[in-house]
Amino acid sequence: MAPPQQPPYGQGPPFGQQPPYGQQPPYGQQPWQGQYLPPPVQPVQPPGPGLVNHVKRAFDWDVRGVEVSPREQQQLNGAGVLEGRLQGLLAWRRSTLLVVLPILTLSVVLSIVDAARRISNARVDGPGGGSLYTGFGIFFQWLPTIGLMFIPIGMLIVLLQWTDVRRPSKTLVVCWFGSIAIPLLAALIPIDWVIDLVVLRDRMEAAGFTPEEISTELFGLRVVYAVQYAVTLLPVLISVAGGVLKGAVRAKSLFPSASLPGWFLVTVAPFYSMITIIVFVLFEQIIGNGVLLVGVACLAAAPWVFVYFRKTFTRPLSVRDAQGKLARAAWIGGAATALGIVFVFVFVFTGEVDGVAVIGSSGDTNAGTALFTYLQILQTTLEVFARSTVTSVVMCLFFVNMVFREWQAATAMSPEVKREHDSEMNMLRRYDVAERTGVWPTMPPR
């Protein structure tokens, strides 16, 4: 067989024809010059919640009514959370923490600034000058801020693992408890460990103060120190009790057939009212007036709304009945709280105590013409709101766990334990009926 004809030198085969052996294919048909393919189409992500949805969830008392977005539902389904109510609970927890996180972060920053200001104001100029705080006292000024920092850390861990129910919740509880325990333990430290009273006494003697004047000034310093630390503890005390109530209401909305959250709500509400009154007694006697009194009265009366609607919260409800009855009580209590907050802020911005304004600039407080700075009031307000909201998340999950454990224990009773339990409850029922009818049993049945 004759070999194939080679084309003349420098001339390739005709376009589109196969070249002889040993020659490259025509241009455009090399293996590395494949046809142009468009990039693969990325799957369309389902829509997620917007800012308005997150804010609405954070302030909504009805956790059962939370609408989960398609993107959240896809992520929860992938994590094995398939039940609608649990999906709503986790979506509510995520939105609430997302809304509170920037507010709490700002509160931490303001707390750092305020602590630095207090340390700076305690410095004494001149020969032999220094800080009136001891070495431990300087560290002590940072303890409330350090405690407050624990909460954002726990919140970030929950947000990074928001589809998990148990593990991040435990971390949040530990951080939340630490943020409360540190300021409370710091409050037990005596002023003698914080302020160098010996140096202060020596300076006052050098300035010509008499022993009686020195004792009076030091006693006044202790009173001022106590009042200032009461202001520091104010967000902790108010937020814990208020957060417990809000957490119980949300747990009842999620499981209206459960009675445990309602009983806890009705039991704790009067104590929260007393805590509110006790906290404000000091301020009312020192800087109070009629406006503050009305505000405190509204705040103290708000928890009693739940006691008034105790039959609604303590008995099992269907989902249909819970929609209207729980909403009515929640809105009345919220309105009383909002009214009390308005009166308190009116007092803060307009009130005076013996010619001294309640709130002013840092220069006003240094000059003695104002009691609190704008920075302190803003930081306290943000901290109260953030702590109370985070506490409601912690307590809601706590009550949900208690409801489940109660049902689990009731269904796991042995026949003997169930028989004894029924006998004990029937005994209480007989005396309850006797008290209502006036017909008392002569002897207990065997």
Each residue of 283-310: pLDDT tens digit? 777 776 788 889 989 999 999 999 999 8
Tell whether 298 is covered by a domain: yes
Q: Which residue has the higher pLDDT, 121 or 347?
A: 347
Q: Could you give the CA distance from residue 276 to residue 114 in angstroms, rounded to a whole number?
A: 25
Q: Could you give the CA distance from residue 125 to residue 117 in angstroms, rounded to a whole number?
A: 16
Q: Which residue has the higher pLDDT, 441 or 68?
A: 68
Residues 400, 345: one domain?
yes
pLDDT class of 165 with cuts at 50, 70, 90: confident
Q: Could you give the CA distance from residue 399 to residue 49 in angstroms, rounded to a whole number?
A: 26
Residues 271, 398: one domain?
yes
Residues 399, 425: one domain?
no
Side-by-side strand order, sheet with 356-360: 352-353, 356-360, 370-373
Residues 441, 305: one domain?
no
Q: Which of 395, 376, 370, 349 is nearest to 107 (CA)?
A: 376
What's the predicted TM-score (pTM) here? 0.80
The SS3 of residue 236 is: helix
Tell whether 69 is covered by a domain: yes
Residues 424, 350: one domain?
no
pLDDT class of 177 with cuts at 50, 70, 90: very high
Q: Could you give the CA distance from residue 279 to residue 22 in angstroms, rounded to a whole number?
A: 96
Token pair 């006697």 is at which residue?
285
Burial 262-299 (b: 16+ CB within 10 A, else e): bebbbebbeebbebbeebbeebeeebbeebbebbbbbb
Residues 361, 446: one domain?
no
Residues 321, 183: one domain?
yes
Residues 91, 110: one domain?
yes
pLDDT class of 421 with cuts at 50, 70, 90: confident
Q: Which residue has the higher pLDDT, 439 or 302?
A: 302
pLDDT in tens, 347-374: 888 888 777 888 888 777 777 778 788 8
| Count of domains forming the chain | 2
Residues 421, 393: one domain?
no
Name the CA dihedral angle for 274, 280, 285, 286, rounded to a multiple of 10 degrees. 160
**Amino acid identity, residue 294?**
V
Tell whether 20 is covered by a domain: no
The token pair at 310 is 């105790």
Tell whether 22 is covered by a domain: no
Contact 121, 356 (CB under 8 A): no
The token pair at 38 is 């468009």
Residues 274, 374: one domain?
yes
Contact 427, 444 (CB under 8 A): yes
The token pair at 210 is 């008499």
Q: Could you give the CA distance from residue 202 to residue 210 in angstroms, rounded to a whole number?
A: 11
Q: What is the pLDDT of residue 373?
A: 84
Residue 83 is part of which domain span? 51-412
Q: Could you give the CA distance from residue 339 to residue 333 in angstroms, rounded to a whole number?
A: 10
pLDDT class of 154 with cuts at 50, 70, 90: very high
Straight-line distance from the first to the last Cα atom of the chain, in angstroms, rounded to the nearest whole number: 120
Tell whether 37 is covered by a domain: no
Q: What is the pLDDT of residue 88?
A: 92
Residues 294, 192: one domain?
yes
pLDDT class of 1 with cuts at 50, 70, 90: low
